[in-house]
Structure 1
Amino acid sequence: MIVTTEEFGLTREKEPVKRFRIENSHGTSFSLLSFGAIISSVQMTPKSGAQPVELTLGYTSVEEYENNLPYFGATVGRVANRIAGGRFELHGAPYQLECNAPGNHIHGGYIGFGRRMWDAELQAASEEAGVRLRRVSPDGEDRYPGKVEVELTVTLNESNELRFEYRATADRATPINLTNHCYWNLAGSTSENIREHEVRLFSDAYLPVNERQVPTGELKPVKGTAFDFTSTRRVGERMEALDGGIDHCYQVRGEQGELRPAAQVVDPASGRRMEIHTTTAGLQFYTGNLLAGEHERGNGGRTLPAHAALCLEAQGFPDAVNRPEFPSIILEPGAEYRQTTLHRFRQAPTR
């Protein structure tokens, strides 16, 4: 394993940001920042002597990441996804969070975990290496109740597995629902879009949403709908049927808390494959519908089109704090939040 650390830049508050890079013997690597616990790069090397291919979208400066509206590579918290109206009630007490999306709270608020500094240290062994990150979220941060101590360990091994291990404890009851927000394009981050990607989801049901992208509370079978990815489907075909793309949470088959298959993604042209396993109840599938615009500049500084990449965010159900029928995301004092998500990368023969 090759492990390097370098200074990436300074935040507005003049805090130094470190970038850690881990590479295995196959030429697969990831880079991670101490700001936002952001995955700034994931690369694969197609064959010996070839140039590595960047698989994620990202920026080249701290300043850009401080204004990271798409949440490129960010660790999202305290609560990923949307909370309707930014409101919830917990043990009889009402809470009003920031509404940083139209009518809703999203991804922890205006700052959240993805725009704050983390304490980070390398962890290296012969067969795997990674970074352990920690931060303390004080009571009232982003208007959430309770102090939360969070730990995230991200590792890469010689089997081309990128593993995320989340842990958290709280001194008061509080909602917590963590995820990583990488944008993937297995054809390479400079490829035009992900329409030719093929996706399979290990899910038989999804969560319909209202006009503000908040779940209605229904858990609807995918069979017979354009949301059906139970067998491998071309993403572009499904996006066309859904008039603009996908941004929905799917219920992952199996028992929450057990590491089990959630998704497979293949780029047929290159043969690159990504398999995702997770312990979470849900998987948010987002096809980059809102990426288009001058202010969204990916690796290399290009202006991004819509659908330049896709996200598969392992998490609890959106708005679970207001939906008792959904699996709870409340962390009580004395309990521990645990979440594991694994990405396995493969290079298959091209068709």
Structure 2
Amino acid sequence: MRITHEPFGEWDGQLVTAYTMVNDHGMSVTSLDYGCIITSVLTPDKNGKIENIVLGFDTIEEYREHSPYFGAVVGRVAGRIKNAEFELDQKTYQLAANDNSNHLHGGVQGFDKVIWKTEMVKHEDWVRLEFTYLSKDGEEGYPGNLQTKVTYTLTNENELQIAYRGESDKRTLLNVTNHSYFNLSGNVKRDILGHQLTLKSSSFVELGDDLIPTGQILPVENTPFDFQSGRKIKDGATSEHSQNILVGNGYDHPFLLTENNRNEIILVDDESGRMLTVETVQPAVVLYTANQLGDHFSMRGVQSRNYLGLCLETQGVPDSIHHPHFPPSILEKGELYQSTTKYKFSVV
């Protein structure tokens, strides 16, 4: 088990550093102190060939100019908040409106666009990166000085564990996730339409025309949103279901999980044999199939296009502050926010 680090670039006068964790089997995870971005995850396929299975760039300038949150930690609140405002304790807070009139993924200068203080921790059976950041009272419109910690731990079982902690001196909102785009084909050889996804979820959240939850929770049965027995991602891309069409022919929806920490999310690419199993304490996962990725940039020699990756954003339900029947994302003053998600990489 080892950790190495090297300069990745410079932004706004600050050095950006890349940290690479490597286990005894040759699996590695490289991440930046800028946005806690996971820029590569190298895992073997069924023939033992080690390749990168996440989308990313090789320069900080590309991340700044083109990245649709590739690999980043997003917050304070992941997803959209309607009209970029919310009310807490009879006070209205106006947030940064960075998605038309709405607030998206923490705002203009969210967790994904700041440099985190980083420490390396080594153990016989695991290595860890500890990222910390103080989000000051009023940042992007949120109340409270929020002390945040994100840890990435790589084990010899080819498991990446991501843990989040937060504590604020005022009542505030907090709902953090990682926004990695997975493509198990390796080095983006194919799109993800042939990937098979299994989700322990019997319901999903309906979206309105602005991609904000309407408040309605819909059953997945007899729809392209039923992943309980596994289905190909292409089913959503070719579907005539109004919710698939709404988000650009695919998925960009929160699914409510029926179980936690019990292999509740499984993604498989038959051709490479790679399998990703995700376990979390969170109530939901947002499945996004890169329906809006577009073709206006390239990444590591590959031209971008829709469906080149998919996100499994384990989190609370977006815009829950406006829907009291959703699991709340309110963090009380002095309360400790804690959340953990595990990503197990294997072959079938």
TM over 0.5: yes
Alignment map for 1:119-138 (pairs within 5 Å):
119-138=117-136
In structure 1, what residue type is equivalent to 2:38? I
Cross-structure match for 1:10: 10
Task: Tell whether the 8 Å contact from 2:202 to 2:228 is kept in structure 1 after alignment.
Answer: yes
Alignment map for 1:113-262 (pairs within 5 Å):
113-241=111-239, 242-243=244-245, 244-254=249-259, 259-262=261-264
Q: Mark the CA change 1:197 to 1:245 in structure 2 (over 3 Å): closer, same or farther.
A: same
Distance 2:280 2:151 in 1: 15
SS of residue matched to 1:65: helix
Distance 2:67 2:160 in 1: 24
Cross-structure match for 1:41: 40
Scaled by the length of structure 1, the TM-score of the pair is 0.94
Distance 1:211 1:189 in 2: 34
Distance 1:227 1:47 in 2: 29
Distance 1:278 1:35 in 2: 24
Cross-structure match for 2:30: 31
Distance 2:138 2:66 in 1: 23
Q: By how many angstroms is 1:259 displaced?
A: 3.3
Q: Deviations over 1:62-86 (max 9, x none)?
A: 1122235410000000000010111
Distance 1:294 1:94 in 2: 38
In structure 2, what residue type is equivalent to 1:201? L
Q: By how many angstroms is 1:47 displaced?
A: 7.0
Q: By how many angstroms is 1:51 displaced?
A: 4.8
Cross-structure match for 2:267: 265
Task: Tell whether the 8 Å contact from 1:65 to 1:115 is kept in structure 2 after alignment.
Answer: no
Alignment map for 1:57-68 (pairs within 5 Å):
57-68=55-66
Cross-structure match for 2:336: 336
Q: By how many angstroms is 1:10 displaced?
A: 0.6
Q: By how many angstroms is 1:234 displaced?
A: 1.0
In structure 1, what residue type is equivalent to 2:30? S
Q: By how many angstroms is 1:88 displaced?
A: 0.7
In structure 1, what residue type is equivalent to 2:254? C
Task: Tell whether the 8 Å contact from 1:288 to 1:307 is kept in structure 2 after alignment.
Answer: yes
CA RMSD of aligned residues (A): 1.4
Task: Tell whether the 8 Å contact from 1:259 to 1:340 is kept in structure 2 after alignment.
Answer: no
Alignment map for 1:80-95 (pairs within 5 Å):
80-95=78-93
Q: Mark the CA change 1:205 to 1:47 in structure 2 (over 3 Å): closer, same or farther.
A: closer
Distance 1:35 1:14 in 2: 13
SS of residue matched to 1:312: strand
Cross-structure match for 2:312: 312
Q: By how many angstroms is 1:319 displaced?
A: 0.3
In structure 2, what residue type is equivalent to 1:342? K
Q: By how many angstroms is 1:195 displaced?
A: 0.8
- Stretches of structure 1 that go unaligned for 5 or more consecutive residues are none
SS of residue matched to 1:218: strand
Distance 1:54 1:116 in 2: 25
Task: Tell whether the 8 Å contact from 1:292 to 1:303 is kept in structure 2 after alignment.
Answer: no
SS of residue matched to 2:215: coil
